[in-house]
Amino acid sequence: MQIGNPTSAAPIRPVMRVSWSRQYCAEMRGTIVIDNDAGRSLCRKPAAVRAGDVLYCAGGFCAGDSIYIAFRTSDGSQYVVATGIARCDETDLRLTSRVGHHEATAPTRTDRPDIVVQERDVQLFWPS
């Protein structure tokens, strides 16, 4: 290899860069949308997400999967404010929350059926 001759220089290998999201975040498997009151309190400090506060869920997540937590404001806007680890499957959540139109039944995989995401598993995007 000659110095100063670009045609004979060894090809430059691209540097592998791992994006911040892939390095520090787990792959998100779904999203839950909670009501305005629960969302506003969650923005102030991490709190458990209860099945009664869930308006909508999507993504086909299972218990133990990482999920996004969003909330719908009173004017209909939606904001993703946190991530968390689901304690029940999406199908079970649809049966216990306002998402489903069925009579509430307890999910089979949790010891506290009303809690969808525990407080210790909530990670706010913008901690106050």
Residue by residue, pLDDT tens for the chain (128 residues) are: 455 555 555 554 444 444 444 434 568 999 999 999 999 999 999 999 999 999 999 999 999 999 999 999 999 999 999 999 999 999 988 887 666 543 444 444 444 558 999 999 999 988 76
pLDDT digits (tens, 9 = 90+) for 18-32: 444 443 456 899 999
Beta strands (DSSP E) in the chain are 28-34, 49-50, 54-58, 66-72, 78-85, 115-117, 123-124
- Spell out the alpha helix ranges (H) of the chain: 20-24, 36-44, 90-96
Task: Delimit the domains of the chain by residue range.
Answer: 25-124
- The Cα 29–Cα 27 span in angstroms is 6
> pTM to 2 decimals?
0.70
Distances (CA, A) of 117 to 4, 110, 112: 60, 11, 10
25-124 in CATH: which number?
A: 2.30.130.10
